[in-house]
Amino acid sequence: MTARTAAQATGRPAEPAARAWLADPYAEALRAGRGPLFLSRGDGWLLPLEVERWCAEADAADATVLARCEGAVLDVGCGPGRLVAALARLGQPALGVDVTPEAVARTVRTGGSALCRSVFDPLPSEGRWGTVLLIDGNIGIGGDPGALLRRAARLAAPGGTLLVEVAAADVDERVEVHVEDGSGGRGEPFPWARLGARALRAEAADAGWSRAVAWNAAGRAFVQLRR
């Protein structure tokens, strides 16, 4: 799908970060259901992206997230939709949003509901979601965690929950990255962020979130926040 088609689907021009996720190699990896796929920084640093896990069913670590979901759930950057599909099987209302058409298509094929939109686009039921999810590193969306947390606060209901997957290390970085497949395929550069639990708490307090509760499962780290 081209940036022009994406703009028609979302009702607004595709921003550079969104265009990066519309193109190969990310969309190709989702179609195949496997990697290798990486986020690459300008200095050569690579972060492996767990495409196979994203395209599989929810695992034991995911189950600890699902157990904390309250009310209707909005999964921001839902990817291929394993959490949305799992919630649907549990009978819990859930909607995924993702800028990648292939991610939305996979979510629907697995029994979930999803829209092809950016989190910063107008979304259904703003201010009424019981839980907002930022899993699989999605606190990095847009490269500005403060702006994303403020947006999440506007999406959540009063007293609503935000569940965030954070980096296991104590990091706070804002970088420019691109997606690459390790074989020469690479997407456009875009801003991204990585936060550990401590950095997330600092950003969250300024964005109207409080009562942080952290936990770890299967080597992954999470924080629950309350609006």
Nearest to 206 by CA among 148, 155, 159, 158: 148
Q: Return the axis-axis angle of helices 197-206 and 145-155, rounded to nearest 10°.
A: 60
Q: pLDDT by residue (tens digit) across 34-66?
A: 999 999 998 989 999 999 999 999 999 999 999
Q: Is the peptide bond before 16 cis (omega within 30 degrees of 0)?
A: no
Q: pLDDT by residue (tens digit) across 196-217?
A: 999 999 999 999 999 999 999 9
Please state, for a pLDDT cut of 90, what percent of the chain lies above it.
85
Phi-psi region of 152 (alpha: psi -120 to 50; beta: other; left: phi over 0): alpha
Mean pLDDT of the chain: 91
- How confident is the model at residue 10, as a pLDDT? 36
Q: From 3.40.50.300, 3.40.50.150, 3.40.50.1820, 1.10.3720.10, which CATH number describes the 3-226 domain?
A: 3.40.50.150
Spans of all domains in the chain: 3-226
- How confident is the model at residue 3, as a pLDDT? 34
- How confident is the model at residue 53, as a pLDDT? 98
- Residues 45 and 169: their CA atoms lie apart, in Å, by 16
Say if CB 48 and CB 56 are below 8 A apart. Answer: no
Task: Give Rg (Cα) of the chain.
Answer: 16
Please list the ranges in the chain whose pLDDT falls under 50.
Answer: 1-14, 16, 18-21
- Residues 136 and 155: their CA atoms lie apart, in Å, by 19
* H or E element that contains 102: helix 101-109
- Residues 178 and 49: their CA atoms lie apart, in Å, by 12
Nearest to 88 by CA among 117, 46, 126, 57: 57
Amino acid at the residue 63: A
Q: Which residues pair with 162 in a beta bridge?
A: 132, 225
- How confident is the model at residue 74, as a pLDDT? 99
- In the numeric block, which tokens belong to residue 216? 């770890």
- Residues 45 and 177: their CA atoms lie apart, in Å, by 9
Say if CB 209 and CB 41 are below 8 A apart. Answer: no
Amino acid at the residue 190: F
- Residues 104 and 118: their CA atoms lie apart, in Å, by 12
- In the numeric block, which tokens belong to residue 116? 């092809």
